[in-house]
């Protein structure tokens, strides 16, 4: 049985290698340099994985947005399945995909910018830690002298080195976590500033055909938007930059979300790789990646969900980037108490957990494929150069 499993694994690896070689052969050689750049790979992988996830979970995103901005007394949206059926009956299948255009338009740069910035900042921290470690090692060698003078000194040094290694291992975990938090926060801020107008357009498109929401939230008549570009043009013309950046304050508060999610995700990957005795997290299976990203998303989403409710209200009502956030939060609390800040949390978890699993797993697998194809293209290019010489 074990021999059969091993043969199947070898066969699968060979098929994967043949597929990668085929892709490398049909791609123009001009793509080698872009594909050998980590930033380009992260950008392409992030944008593609985000778009895939957006299309799959869009119906749940529409429902989540409507639940967030509805009132507790509004019984229009009850259970998840009934609510989805109600939207489909009253608005057709298109109703389940309201805002898909701006969602995809936002997620392409969103995850592209995010994973690129996150990868870059992680690289900066890694290089800085490497330089600091080299400096410490050189200093340690100078202090300890060039030669050991006795076996007792050797023994003491080994004991000291063992304790030092354990301390360094713990310190490295702490440094890794801090690096992941700062990298995630920096990437989150860059992404929010780049894509906020698209999220405002997406939110308004998702609620504009819901009679119970559009009139009560906006407070004045607003002709329906015809699409993403129309929404962006009209918001810019009528409300200016403040309208396009409605909800910026709670969005920036949402940086805490990724600052929680990414370190947990990275740590879970590391622990799973150790548990499975793998050489690195790059060898984890799709199921392992989905589990790590799903658990990290559930924890982060549950802890930071209230800011999403506040942001959705600000997007719909057209508040400026920072104005009115505290007043609106007080109004939401007065109307429904703490429960109001968790309206739609169940639907949100149903949406975000698979979305995160799809996004992160797709990102990791696409990145691996692109890196492997780039390596094959590089090896082929080197072989051709050697033949020419």
- pLDDT (tens digit, 9 = 90+) per residue, 231-279? 999 999 998 998 899 888 877 877 888 899 999 999 999 999 999 999 9
pLDDT class for 214, splitting at 50, 70, 90? low
Residue 276 lies in a domain: no
Rounded distance between C-alpha atoms, residue 92 and residue 317, angstroms:
26
Residue 70 lies in a domain: yes
Pair of tokens at residue 165: 């290694």
Residue range of the domain that includes 188? 39-137+170-255+307-388
Residue 298 lies in a domain: no
Distances (CA, A) of 158 to 146, 151, 164, 324: 15, 10, 9, 62
Residue 378 lies in a domain: yes
Total structural domains within the chain = 1
pTM above 0.75, yes or no: no
Residue 282 lies in a domain: no
Length of the chain: 389
Residue 360 lies in a domain: yes
- pLDDT (tens digit, 9 = 90+) per residue, 308-360? 888 777 777 766 666 677 888 888 888 888 888 888 788 788 888 998 999 99
Distances (CA, A) of 118 to 111, 115, 163, 317, 347: 10, 5, 33, 32, 28
Residue 335 lies in a domain: yes
Query: What CATH number does the domain containing 118 carry?
Result: 1.50.40.10
Residue 121 lies in a domain: yes
Q: Let me know: does 75 contact 36? Beta carbons within 8 Å.
A: no
Compute the radius of gyration of the chain from its Cα atoms: 26
- Per-residue pLDDT, averaged over 297-312, amounts to 88
């Amino acid at each position: 049985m074990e021999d059969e499993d091993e043969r199947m694994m070898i066969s699968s690896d060979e098929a994967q290698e043949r597929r990668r070689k085929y892709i490398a052969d049909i791609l123009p050689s001009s793509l080698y340099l872009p594909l050998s750049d980590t930033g380009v790979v992260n950008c392409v992988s992030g944008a593609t994985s985000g778009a895939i996830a957006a299309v799959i979970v869009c119906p749940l995103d529409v429902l989540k947005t409507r639940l967030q901005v509805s009132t507790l007394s509004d019984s229009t949206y009850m259970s998840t399945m009934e609510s989805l059926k109600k939207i489909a009956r009253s608005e057709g299948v298109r109703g389940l995909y309201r805002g898909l255009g701006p969602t995809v338009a936002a997620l392409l740069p969103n995850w592209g910018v995010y994973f690129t910035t996150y990868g870059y900042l992680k690289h900066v921290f890694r290089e800085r830690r490497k330089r600091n470690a080299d400096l410490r090692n050189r200093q340690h060698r100078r202090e300890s002298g060039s030669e050991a003078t006795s076996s007792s000194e050797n023994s003491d040094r080994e004991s000291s080195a063992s304790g030092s290694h354990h301390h360094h291992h713990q310190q490295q975990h702490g440094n890794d976590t801090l690096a992941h938090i700062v990298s995630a926060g920096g990437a989150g801020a860059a992404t929010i500033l780049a894509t906020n107008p698209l999220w405002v357009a997406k939110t308004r498109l998702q609620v504009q055909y819901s009679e119970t929401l559009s009139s009560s939230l906006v407070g004045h008549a607003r002709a329906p938007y015809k699409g993403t570009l129309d929404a962006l043009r009209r918001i810019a013309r009528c409300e200016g930059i403040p309208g396009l950046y409605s909800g910026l304050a709670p969005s920036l508060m949402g940086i805490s979300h990724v600052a929680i999610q990414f370190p947990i995700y990275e740590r879970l990957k590391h622990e799973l790789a150790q548990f499975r005795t793998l050489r690195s997290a790059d060898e984890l299976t799709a199921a392992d990646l989905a589990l790590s990203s799903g658990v990290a998303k559930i924890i982060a989403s549950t802890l930071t969900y209230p800011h999403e409710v506040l942001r959705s209200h600000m997007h719909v009502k057209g508040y400026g980037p920072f104005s009115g956030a505290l007043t609106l939060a007080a109004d939401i609390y007065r109307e429904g108490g703490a429960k109001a800040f968790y309206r739609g949390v169940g639907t949100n978890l149903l949406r975000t957990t698979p979305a995160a699993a799809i996004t992160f797993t797709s990102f990791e697998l696409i990145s691996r494929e692109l890196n492997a194809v780039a390596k094959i293209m590089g090896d082929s290019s080197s072989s051709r150069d050697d033949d020419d010489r």
